[in-house]
């Protein structure tokens, strides 16, 4: 047996391994490349974990093409594998009040103790575990759990998490363990921004956090709202702890984020533990982050030592998970929704049912492949659950309750709104309506156009947009600017005051920036940031309309695929006419960023800790006409490097980008 307890793989295990690799690869591609997952994240995780477990238990398996070695197309080989000083063990799982009683009885029996044992109970955070290694008061390494023995070095990403201290006042070895996660509200906001930019969205906060931590480029982690909560230790020297609660107190003093005490409980009473479990279960949907249970730990470390380990888990702790929030209901109908990109999404309309305190009536069925795989039909009784407590999904069909003459559901070959033919793009699973004048596409595009980050027509809400389109008052973006009080009067329930407000907010929107205007057009892949770069580069809408491939690809962060999509849009005669009409209404304010200055024509990126705040540094660059890039490439003029710079500095060196200090930067603008 090797150090990690592996046994040699038999032919049967090897076959199973090949099969699993193939299945995971297939679903990986659906998810990452085609952006059309066929199975739930949960199912995928199960499959992936099965593969990981198989690989961690057997020697001699061919890992060279295993998806466990890759994530999202980037070889994880890029992450250094580092052994944990102490193995990162996991908790035994249990699922009920009964299990809490058994746990308590087990502990007492083992300790031969009739007197009370103090427990510390806290939330079981649903993120990914992380070990932070501090040496001489510095964060030197952040490791994923990996197989528990060996983790992956993801320091470059973890260092971007603002709540994690880079320096601490304890100067000897300290390994802090805890959970990385994303708050539910941040997750929703983040996904919305991605969706608006026509990009991939994550199914739940845990996936988003895990996906972020395993990115090669730390700028992605820096741009995402990752959180950390400390709840355990690895190795340490020169400090003592006497209980779990003491660990968290002392970590808090060292400026680590720990779980708020209002979410934890310290008690010797079994009833208290059961009440805590039930109370948290009730409140879980109100919590700011996802949890999947509670963790009960024997509080005194001396007792923990006595209790020791059983198999691969500590005897002194247990996770008590919640039943997944599932419910049974009936699909009354399946309707097709048409998004602003023309994507046709089948949505199940169900008999309303409560799941975890929230009434659910519909769930996306994603696409035909998903419908076929689960054989979901109108009239079916189904089990649904809220994935990551947010997005409802159909888990399973109860076929025994299926009505006799039910039929397979097939997505119609014509757009439900405009009737034009729907087709798949090569390598996509989603069907799209390609008619730019389709009412649904139009409504979706208009809703985006008027939204806060785009033209910001505060008083023009989704319902109003729909009404405008239904009454055929608006057939294009520019029609919004031609609306009169009389037009709006024809709609129900629009009083004088509200008409005035609507017209005012449309009028106000004419004063905008080129960046917001470009973003508002809703060109696929052109999110806010890209729109800003395009606006900076082209300066005027006329210039932008005449963009050509070669020039376009010089714009930072625009590659071939995005460039091709933009050009296709710009070359459409109808779009050209529309933009020209629109532009006549607009007055473009100069962006807050200066385009001319000591730094014009130069681009910058900041890495590491500077003597000033990041925002201040960025302002200084833009004030002087410099441009900010978000990654190192040959297009970058200068990389400004502070303390603990990380991988960007290495990359800059390898592509020959000039590296300067903050002081040297200040010289440039003197």
Give CA–CA dist 377/409, Å, rounded.
6
When the beta carbons of 110 and 194 are compared against ligand IVH, the nearer one is 110
Binding of ligand IVH by 91 (CB under 6 A): yes
Residue 648's CB: how many other CB atoms inside 10 A? Answer: 23
**x/- track of binding to ligand IVH for residues 521-540 (CB under 6 A):** --------------------
CA dihedral angle for residue 328, residue 331, residue 336, residue 337, rounded to 10 degrees: -40
The distance of closest approach from Cβ of residue 123 to ligand IVH in the complex, given in angstroms and rounded to an integer, is 6
Burial class (CB in 10 A: 0-12, 13-18, 19+), 554: exposed
Beta bridge mates, 348: 334, 363
Quote the tokens at residue 441: 């596409």
The distance of closest approach from Cβ of residue 244 to ligand IVH in the complex, given in angstroms and rounded to an integer, is 9
Give CA–CA dist 617/611, Å, rounded.
9
Q: Looking at residues 345 to 364 of the shown chain, list those that interact with ligand IVH (rule: CB under 6 A).
A: none
The distance of closest approach from Cβ of residue 242 to ligand IVH in the complex, given in angstroms and rounded to an integer, is 17
| Residue 473 DSSP label | S
State the DSSP string of 91-148. PPEE-SHHHHHHHHHHHHHHHT--S---EEEEEEE-SEEEEEEEETTEEEEEEE-TTS
Residues marked active site are found at 124
Find where tokens 């710009």 sit: 570
Q: Looking at residues 122 to 161 of the shown chain, list those that interact with ligand IVH (rule: CB under 6 A).
A: 122-125, 129, 145
When the beta carbons of 21 and 84 are compared against ligand IVH, the nearer one is 84
When the beta carbons of 289 and 517 are compared against ligand IVH, the nearer one is 289
Q: Looking at residues 209 to 228 of the shown chain, list those that interact with ligand IVH (rule: CB under 6 A).
A: none
Quote the tokens at residue 59: 């020697």
The distance of closest approach from Cβ of residue 295 to ligand IVH in the complex, given in angstroms and rounded to an integer, is 4
Quote the tokens at residue 341: 């990109």
Binding of ligand IVH by 570 (CB under 6 A): no
Q: What angle do CA 284, 295, 290 make, to 5 degrees?
A: 30
When the beta carbons of 123 and 629 are compared against ligand IVH, the nearer one is 123
Give CA–CA dist 157/646, Å, rounded.
9
Q: What angle do CA 194, 210, 141 make, to 5 degrees?
A: 125
Stretch that binds ligand IVH, among 312-320, 422-430, 532-540, 547-555 (CB under 6 A): 312-320
> Judged by CB under 6 A, which of 317, 331, 454, 570 binds ligand IVH?
317
CA 481 to mean position of chain CA atoms: 36
> Judged by CB under 6 A, which of 234, 314, 388, 392 binds ligand IVH?
314
Binding of ligand IVH by 231 (CB under 6 A): yes
Which residue in 415, 425, 662, 412 sits closest to 565, CA to CA?
A: 425
Total residues binding ligand IVH (CB under 6 A): 16
- Give, rounded to a whole angstrom, the gap between the first and last alpha carbons of the chain: 65
Which residue in 43, 225, 230 sits closest to 125, CA to CA?
A: 230
The distance of closest approach from Cβ of residue 495 to ligand IVH in the complex, given in angstroms and rounded to an integer, is 53
Stretch that binds ligand IVH, among 121-129, 266-274, 601-609, 637-645 (CB under 6 A): 121-129
Give CA–CA dist 20/390, Å, rounded.
29
The distance of closest approach from Cβ of residue 484 to ligand IVH in the complex, given in angstroms and rounded to an integer, is 59
- Cβ(136)–Cβ(171) below 8 Å: yes
SS3 call for 7:
strand
Beta bridge mates, 151: 82
When the beta carbons of 258 and 338 are compared against ligand IVH, the nearer one is 258
Stretch that binds ligand IVH, among 270-278, 311-319, 381-389, 401-409 (CB under 6 A): 311-319
**x/- track of binding to ligand IVH for residues 577-596 (CB under 6 A):** --------------------
For 390, how many CA atoms within 13 A lie in the half-sphere containing its CB? 20
Binding of ligand IVH by 205 (CB under 6 A): no
When the beta carbons of 20 and 319 are compared against ligand IVH, the nearer one is 319
CA dihedral angle for residue 375, residue 380, residue 381, residue 387, rounded to 10 degrees: 50
Binding of ligand IVH by 343 (CB under 6 A): no
The distance of closest approach from Cβ of residue 464 to ligand IVH in the complex, given in angstroms and rounded to an integer, is 45
Stretch that binds ligand IVH, among 57-65, 88-96, 101-109, 571-579 (CB under 6 A): 88-96
Stretch that binds ligand IVH, among 5-13, 314-322, 352-360, 532-540 (CB under 6 A): 314-322
SS3 call for 396:
strand
Quote the tokens at residue 600: 């014009």
When the beta carbons of 323 and 359 are compared against ligand IVH, the nearer one is 323
> Judged by CB under 6 A, which of 258, 295, 320, 657 binds ligand IVH?
295
- Cβ(119)–Cβ(298) below 8 Å: yes
For 664, how many CA atoms within 13 A lie in the half-sphere containing its CB? 11
- Cβ(341)–Cβ(374) below 8 Å: no
Beta bridge mates, 511: 587
Stretch that binds ligand IVH, among 87-95, 250-258, 545-553, 646-654 (CB under 6 A): 87-95
Stretch that binds ligand IVH, among 4-12, 118-126, 333-341, 514-522 (CB under 6 A): 118-126
Binding of ligand IVH by 232 (CB under 6 A): yes
Stretch that binds ligand IVH, among 40-48, 65-73, 89-97, 652-660 (CB under 6 A): 89-97
> Judged by CB under 6 A, which of 131, 179, 186, 196 binds ligand IVH?
179
The distance of closest approach from Cβ of residue 652 to ligand IVH in the complex, given in angstroms and rounded to an integer, is 34
The distance of closest approach from Cβ of residue 69 to ligand IVH in the complex, given in angstroms and rounded to an integer, is 21
The distance of closest approach from Cβ of residue 143 to ligand IVH in the complex, given in angstroms and rounded to an integer, is 13
The distance of closest approach from Cβ of residue 292 to ligand IVH in the complex, given in angstroms and rounded to an integer, is 8
For 321, how many CA atoms within 13 A lie in the half-sphere containing its CB? 10
The footprint of ligand IVH (CB under 6 A) covers: 89-91, 122-125, 129, 145, 179, 231-232, 295, 314, 317, 319
């Amino acid at each position: 047996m090797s150090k990690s307890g592996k046994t040699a793989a038999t032919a049967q295990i090897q076959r199973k391994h090949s099969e699993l690799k193939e299945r995971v690869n297939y679903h990986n591609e659906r998810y990452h490349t085609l952006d059309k997952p066929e199975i739930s994240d949960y199912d995928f995780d199960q499959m992936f974990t099965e593969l990981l477990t198989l690989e961690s238990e057997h020697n001699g398996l061919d890992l060279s093409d295993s998806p466990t070695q890759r994530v999202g197309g980037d070889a994880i080989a890029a992450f250094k594998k580092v052994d944990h000083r102490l193995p990162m063990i996991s908790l035994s799982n249990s699922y009920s009040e009964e299990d809490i009683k058994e746990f308590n009885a087990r502990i007492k029996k083992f300790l031969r103790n009739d007197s009370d044992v103090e427990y510390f109970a806290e939330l079981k955070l649903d993120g990914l575990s992380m070990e932070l290694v501090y040496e001489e008061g510095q964060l030197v390494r952040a490791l994923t759990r990996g197989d528990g023995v060996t983790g992956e070095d993801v320091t470059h990403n973890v260092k971007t998490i603002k709540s994690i201290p880079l320096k601490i006042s304890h100067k000897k070895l300290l390994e802090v363990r805890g959970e990385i996660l994303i708050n539910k509200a941040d997750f929703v906001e983040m996904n919305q921004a991605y969706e608006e930019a026509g990009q991939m969205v994550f199914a739940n906060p845990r996936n988003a956090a895990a996906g972020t931590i395993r990115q090669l480029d730390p700028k992605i982690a820096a741009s995402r709202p990752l959180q950390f909560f400390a709840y355990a230790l690895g190795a340490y020297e020169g400090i003592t702890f006497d209980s779990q609660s003491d660990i968290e107190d002392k970590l808090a003093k060292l400026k680590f984020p720990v779980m708020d005490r209002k979410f934890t409980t310290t008690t010797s009473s079994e009833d208290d533990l059961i009440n805590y479990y039930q109370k948290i279960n009730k409140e879980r949907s109100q919590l700011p982050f996802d949890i999947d249970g509670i963790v009960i730990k024997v509080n005194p470390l001396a007792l923990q030592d006595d209790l020791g380990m059983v198999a691969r888990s500590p005897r002194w702790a247990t996770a008590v998970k919640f039943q997944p929030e599932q419910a049974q209901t009936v699909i009354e109908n399946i309707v097709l929704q048409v998004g602003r990109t023309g994507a046709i999404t089948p949505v199940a309309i169900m008999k309303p049912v409560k799941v975890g305190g929230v009434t659910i009536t519909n769930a996306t069925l994603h696409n035909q492949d998903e419908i076929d795989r689960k054989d979901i039909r109108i009239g079916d009784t189904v089990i649904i659950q809220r994935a990551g407590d947010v997005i409802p999904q159909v888990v399973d069909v109860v076929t025994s309750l299926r009505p006799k003459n039910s039929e397979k559901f097939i997505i119609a070959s014509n757009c439900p709104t405009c009737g034009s033919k729907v087709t798949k793009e090569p390598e996509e699973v989603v069907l799209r309506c390609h008619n730019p004048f389709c009412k649904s596409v139009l409504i979706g595009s208009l809703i985006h156009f008027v939204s806060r980050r785009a033209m910001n027509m505060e008083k023009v809400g989704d319902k109003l947009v729909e009404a405008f389109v239904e009454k055929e008052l608006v057939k294009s973006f520019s029609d919004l600017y031609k609306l009169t009080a009389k037009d709006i009067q024809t709609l129900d329930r629009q009083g004088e005051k509200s008409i005035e407000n609507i017209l005012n907010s449309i009028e106000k929107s004419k004063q905008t920036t080129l960046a917001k205007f470009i973003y508002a057009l809703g060109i696929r892949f052109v999110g806010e940031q890209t729109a800003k770069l395009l606006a900076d580069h082209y300066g005027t809408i006329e210039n932008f309309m005449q963009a050509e491939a070669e020039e376009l690809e010089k714009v930072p962060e625009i590659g071939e695929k995005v460039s091709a999509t933009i050009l296709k849009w710009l070359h459409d005669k109808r779009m050209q006419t529309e933009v020209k009409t629109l532009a006549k209404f607009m007055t473009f304010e100069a962006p807050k960023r200066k385009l001319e200055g000591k730094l014009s024509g130069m681009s910058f990126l900041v890495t590491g800790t500077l003597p000033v705040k990041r925002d201040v540094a960025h302002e200084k660059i833009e004030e002087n006409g410099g441009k900010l890039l978000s990654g190192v490439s040959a297009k970058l003029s200068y990389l400004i490097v502070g303390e603990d710079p990380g991988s960007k500095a290495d990359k800059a060196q390898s592509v020959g980008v000039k590296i300067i200090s903050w002081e040297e930067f200040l010289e440039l603008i003197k």
